[in-house]
Amino acid sequence: MSVKTVFQAIRQRQSVFPNLYTEELINEEKIQALLELANTAPTHRLTEPWRFVVFKGKGREKLSQFMSGEYRKNNPDSTFSEVKFQKRKVKPLQSSHIIAVIMHRDPQERVPEWEEIAAVSCAVQNMWIGACAMGLGCYWSSPGEMVGRPEILELQRNERALGLFYLGNTTLDQVLPKVRQPIDSKVRYIG
């Protein structure tokens, strides 16, 4: 693989939201390939802190009910938003697969927690670049109901959810423009 191909794959990574997904399901081989990419992320002391729960088929309905129910329960009338409620209910149903992103903290705490979170983030980035290279739509979201220790995930004591990675086939055939400030405004050199 050429450097140009790698750079292009990274530059074409983008967020594509469930309202742009088709009803066609992603085949299981592609999902497995994305999980294998995640498993190649860098990890200090080989703690491999990434864990995933994949919602597919009827699991998407279960996730939809959980998220919308938790939102309703945790937002009294004064803070309840029908729009946010509907988004939590609909997004899982618009997606082919939803992957819960979990940090499994090293029981021996050999590295700082932020390094574990960074490793999990690298795993998600690997999936994200791979999904975009496959022409899939995807994005990482962190709704309050799915961060921390949501009951639906049945996490171990040393695990914490960091959000959801939504996936779907899409008819979007263009890379959306990225809005970024120039890198020179973010870098200082010494020496």
- Side-chain half-sphere exposure of 125, counting CA atoms within 13 A: 11
- Whichever domain contains 47, its CATH number is 3.40.109.10
Is 88 a domain residue? no
Is 132 a domain residue? yes
The structure's pTM equals: 0.95
Domain housing 32: 17-55+95-170
Instruction: Look at the chain and report how many structural domains it folds into.
Output: 1
Task: For residue 9, give every residue at least 6 positions away whose Cβ sits within 8 Å of its Cβ, in sequence order, or none.
Answer: 129, 132, 133
Task: For residue 83, give every residue at least 6 positions away whose Cβ sits within 8 Å of its Cβ, in sequence order, or none.
Answer: none
Contact call for residues 169 and 137 (beta carbons, < 8 A): yes
Q: Report which residue type is found at 19.
A: N
Q: pLDDT tens digits for the chain (191 residues)?
A: 799 999 999 999 999 999 999 999 999 999 999 999 999 999 999 999 999 999 999 999 999 999 999 999 999 888 999 999 999 999 999 999 999 999 999 999 999 999 999 999 999 999 999 999 999 999 999 999 999 999 999 999 999 999 999 999 998 887 788 889 999 999 999 99
φ and ψ at 165, to 5 degrees? -115, 105
Task: For residue 159, give every residue at least 6 positions away whose Cβ sits within 8 Å of its Cβ, in sequence order, or none.
Answer: 51, 102, 103, 104, 105, 149, 153
Is 7 a domain residue? no
Q: Any idea which residue has 């970024």 for tokens?
A: 180
Is 85 a domain residue? no
Both structure tokens of 80: 């309840």
